[in-house]
A and B are shown apart, each in its own frame.
Chain A
């Protein structure tokens, strides 16, 4: 049954306020969100012709979940029936479970010890600080070796000292290739929302609300990690059949497709199904407005706070752009729905989190039209969040890497893919990607934005390390995992060439879809696509100058070397003449002319001098780089340097240099400090300098303030 679209009308006492607001602001009423007639799909997966085939081995675990939400206690009373297949070689006698919600149970959990009561500037709710999941019973359904046997056997289970982990001991081992069915009864207490899950007034964001088994690795070891501040989640693929019992007036969004909804008194009973996903989350709120869109058969559903209903087209545009770019680059999106939720004011702690076929975004924060007309604009806010959180449908929804062991594989690759979405959507507007912010008409390019965020962080901790190695006190997790990874991949793409790089990324996405790829898988795939050594040019002697892909990854991902170049010197000196005694063709000494008088280079003719440019590799990151030199006659010359030494001297006999610039095409996105990448020769003045610009800005500001304050 197709649910009726809910639209919240302003309450009667508020109508005059709304009318006054409209009259004063001279605005039209906010536009109705689009309501395209897009029905709920019949299947959770797109038709086989619209997606890649799913390897049967990827299907490991199925969940049947029932949950009743008590709005007074903010508790979920749930049962989980979990059918887990032993796809490994040997028998299994125990199953570790993630109890992620227990990360919020007390001040001394692994999560809380790192977070100290706040997450992304959202503080713990002092009235409802704690969340937990209390597993009441675990039973094995069916006898050993038999499936769907009605017998039930109580199993021994215990939380670890770190309560986000639990082990269930089976009464008999599960042989390879067999399935074990477990049924768990649990109660989940939601905290006041501050770290992606919980409640705020009547709004609920239920993420990580049920017990989930760990992932058995190919080598037979279980991967189940304590929930820490940056660790996020890791699970196997399977099907979900979920029945929710919720207050009847809540508008609900969830993973997968909605099979049915039935209202009974003050409650509603919802039935959801999802296929080949590794998590299930849902959100509900009383004042959410539903808007629906469609992209090539994929139903896009947005739930927005009533006061931000006009944001729907912005989120839809971003969502469609993300789908278009990512499908073209990484293959088809395999599921038939995607649901996005903008948490209402007061529930900001729920914003910006991804779950399979479902994510939370945030307020679009579009600037008013008059401000944009003056050249002030941005492409950040909810638009970027929508693109980023949808990007996780690929990295890690489809390519389900271990977010605990290698968080860069989801956050970093996702951020990188976001940059490509912007590039595909807006084009290369600045030569350095599209603009991301405009101030009085001056663009800040997308890649410059990444460079600015890298500042000073790259040398503190490497990218490729487990999440719990990122110490919050150092505070570089976001910069390193998200931005440095993206900057590294972008640098490699720009240096090695987009075509080969993009082909490699596509191969990676196709090969490891519905799998658990590692960083080594990505590096090996890209290494095969690009070659181990990418030839960038040749020295004057004909020797190739190459970019070593493995060495690049070592430096960018596993090292803390900073990529930084500097023009150390640009100048001129008299050229070496032929005065003094020289031997002639008969071996006799001839000449004996006096040396040329000392003369400043500026007074010499061009043919009497030689120019020099000294380039310094100030950082320890070794990478080839291009140096561009402009001469007084306006001509330019480029030299490729392999970057192996600490410096390189360039000489130009008989020519006068105006300036020298490193990395003129801005390929090195990893280089955040660039103001010393260009230097003018003495007695040459740049047209525009930063000191002049800041001086004039300060003068204008003083004039403006003086005029505003007086008389």
Chain B
């Protein structure tokens, strides 16, 4: 069975991981939505009825008139984005450990939590490398048509996401140098040398972004008569896809471990 299939098997074997992270996300998002709704309602009371044929004007009318409400919406979105990134970062070693091993949660926790500082440092190193890569792509695509430039930038971004998975799994599961930039760089090397791994993982990452765009579109398009369960369902799909991507990396590195300090030639 391919790493892709074995990765899917690992995700399906950890339904509590999938369901738990999704439920946490839904609760968090609902809380933010409720805060925004309450602030806006307090600002516009006793008005606020919208005409279905003038939805965009209705929203802009209120947001333009009540800058505090607009700031709340903006703050909610900013906090949401930033906290999502942080929470997923903190959860990364737990997710990797759980997808790697079917042991109890206490065992998973005991194995994952000590790796948290290493994962944080590797993520920072990766961020530096990602910034350099993006800069290099931006500089090199300037003479190209905009569509080509954006496409190359997108491809680079997807590669970075998979490389980060590779580096994190290598640190948590295979004892890669925890604080050295070499481990982050190795993630790029490991993935680019294995296109059969990189391609599906990159597609899964792309799928997550497409689902994100779909959820936003669905909520905006269905603002008059839509249901909140559309975006919530898509969030479950997106989380599942992300777990599958990480699990695929875990499965692949079980068979094809990255070079570690121990495995490096001794001088």
B81 and A698 contact, CB distance less than 8 A: no
Contacts of A698 in B (CB 8 A): 32-33, 35-37, 73, 76-77, 80
Q: Contact check, B29 vs A706: say whether CB atoms are below 8 A apart.
A: yes
Please report the C-alpha to C-alpha distance between residue A21 and residue B34 in the assembled complex, in whole angstroms. Answer: 46
Question: In the complex, A679 Cα to B50 Cα: how many Å?
Answer: 10
| Chain B residue at smallest Cβ distance from A693 | B223
Q: Which of B40-60 contact A (CB under 8 A)?
A: 40-41, 44, 46-60
- Cβ distance A121 to chain B, nearest Cβ, rounded Å: 21
Tell me the nearest residue of chain B to A568, going by C-beta. Answer: B46
Band of interface residues on A: 35 or more
From A38-46, A50-58, A183-191, A437-445, the one touching the partner chain is: A437-445
Contacts of B37 in A (CB 8 A): 691-692, 694-696, 698
Contacts of A704 in B (CB 8 A): 211-213, 215-216, 231, 234-235, 238
Among B59, B84, B143, B223, point to the contact of A706 (Cβ < 8 A).
B84
- Report chain A residues within 8 Å CB of B29: 699-700, 702-703, 706
- Assess A702 versus B76: contact at CB under 8 Å? Given A675-B65, A694-B40, A711-B92: yes
CB-contacts of A666-711 with B (<8 A): 672-676, 678-680, 686-711
Query: Which of the residues B50, B61, B65 comes within 8 Å of A693, measured between beta carbons?
Result: B50
Compute how far the CA of A65 lies from the CA of B122 in the bound complex, rounded to whole angstroms.
Answer: 71
Tell me the smallest distance from the CB of A673 to a CB of chain B, in Å: 6
A686 to B242, CA, bound (A): 39
Q: In the complex the two chains form, what is the Cα distance from A25 to B41 in whole Å?
A: 45
Q: Which of B25, B65, B85, B226 has a CB less than 8 Å from the CB of A673?
A: B65
Rounded to whole angstroms, the CA-CA distance of A700 and B52 in the bound complex is 20
**Selected contact of A440 from candidates B51, B57, B220, CB within 8 Å:** B220
**Whole-angstrom CA separation of A699 from B73 in the bound complex:** 10
Q: Are B80 and A702 in contact (CB under 8 A)?
A: yes
Contact of A696 among B57, B91, B209, B219 (CB under 8 A): B219
Chain B residue at minimum C-beta to C-beta distance from A437:
B56
Give the Cβ gap from B241 to chain A, nearest Cβ, in Å: 8
Q: Are the C-beta atoms of B60 and A706 separated by less than 8 Å?
A: no
> Taking the complex as formed, is B2 at the interface, i.e. its CB lies under 8 A from any CB of chain A?
no
B64 touches A686 (CB 8 A): no
Find out whether the CB atom of A21 lies under 8 angstroms from the CB atom of B145. yes
Q: Is B218 an interface residue (CB 8 A)?
A: yes
List the count of A-B residue pairs having beta carbons below 8 Å apart: 246
The residues of A that contact B253 with a CB separation of less than 8 Å are none
Q: Which of A439, A445, A452, A694 contacts B73 (CB 8 A)?
A: A694
Would you call B57 and A705 a contact (CB within 8 A)? no
Judge whether A445 and B85 touch: CB under 8 Å. Answer: no
Closest residue to B155 on the A side, CB-wise? A24
| Chain A residue at minimal CB-CB distance from B237 | A707
Which residue on chain A has the smallest CB distance to residue B36?
Answer: A698
Answer yes or no: B21 CB below 8 A from chain A CBs.
Answer: yes
Q: In the complex the two chains form, what is the Cα distance from A99 to B212 in whole Å?
A: 57
Residue of A17, A678, A680, A699 ringed by the most chain B CB atoms within 10 A: A699
| Least CB distance, B11 to chain A, in whole angstroms | 10
Cα-based distance from A697 to B243 in the complex (angstroms): 25
Docked Cα-Cα span, A192 to B131, in Å, equals 35
The 7 lowest CB-CB distance pairs between A and B, nearest first, are A695-B37, A699-B33, A707-B238, A710-B88, A700-B219, A686-B49, A702-B29
6 pairs from A and B in contact (CB 8 Å cutoff): A455-B65, A675-B61, A690-B48, A702-B33, A709-B84, A710-B84
Which positions in B face A, CB cutoff 8 Å? 21, 25-26, 28-30, 32-38, 40-41, 44, 46-65, 69, 73, 76-77, 80-81, 84-85, 87-88, 91-92, 95, 143-145, 147-148, 151, 208-209, 211-213, 215-221, 223-224, 226, 228, 231-232, 234-235, 237-239, 242-243, 245-246
Other A-B contacts than A25-B147, A698-B76, 12 sampled, CB-CB below 8 A, are: A452-B57, A689-B50, A691-B40, A697-B223, A699-B33, A699-B228, A700-B216, A705-B81, A708-B212, A710-B239, A711-B21, A711-B242
